[in-house]
Amino acid sequence: MIVNQWWQYWQSRFNSDYCDKIIELAKQLPAVDATIGHGSDKSVTDKSYRRSQVRWLPRFDGRFFGLFGDMELMFREANKNAFGFDLSLFHEIQFTEYHGTNEGHYDWHHDTFWTGNKLSRRKLSMVIQLSDPADYDGGRFEVCPRDCDCPPDANAIVNRGTVIVFPSFLHHRVTPVTRGTRYSLVSWYEGPCFR
């Protein structure tokens, strides 16, 4: 595990066979166009800003019990090592596909919203790299250097099976995929409003 106060990551935490299995299982679920605006009054599709497809892994599907358990442990370990946030709810995993045929991407954004009437907020975000970097071009996951003094090296976290955890308020993006397909998992751990 690589430790930094702004982020934590595990290089190649999951092996290729495991990544292949998750991709195979996730592709059995229905795909929808990704939207923007989670946490606000409405979410919309804006393909100039976010162009990808997502599939939601069901929490109580036995095929994914081990994955949910592993991710929860990593969230909690990262929080203990660096963040110390008050956490309460981890309930969803998003499988995301970025295709080179339409330059799939997600522009600069953060995963939490400060306004609204929800009792909990996304506090920690996790991204798991499922694709082999040789299978696509572009599609780099980047954390905005204006938000933290030492963003993770995009070349270090591109390896298959690598996991990164960071505060949900950090701006981040996925650059356009120009060849092939990038698969990843994304999730969030929620907690009461910051105070």
Q: Provide the CATH number for the domain formed by 19-33+47-150+167-192 in this structure.
A: 2.60.120.620
Cβ neighbours for 194, distance < 8 A, ≥ 6 positions apart: 121, 123
Provide the pLDDT for residue 40: 53
| Domain range summary for the chain, segments of one domain joined by + | 19-33+47-150+167-192
Provide the pLDDT for residue 39: 52
Q: Of all residues in the chain, what percent are helix, strand and coil, respectively (each to 5)?
A: 20, 35, 45
pLDDT tens-place string over residues 61-100: 999 999 999 999 999 999 999 999 999 999 899 999 999 9
| Residue recorded with tokens 């299995």 | 21
DSSP one-letter code for 111: S
pLDDT tens-place string over residues 12-26: 999 999 999 999 999
pLDDT tens-place string over residues 102-156: 999 999 999 987 766 677 899 999 999 999 999 999 999 999 999 988 999 888 8
- pTM of this prediction? 0.94
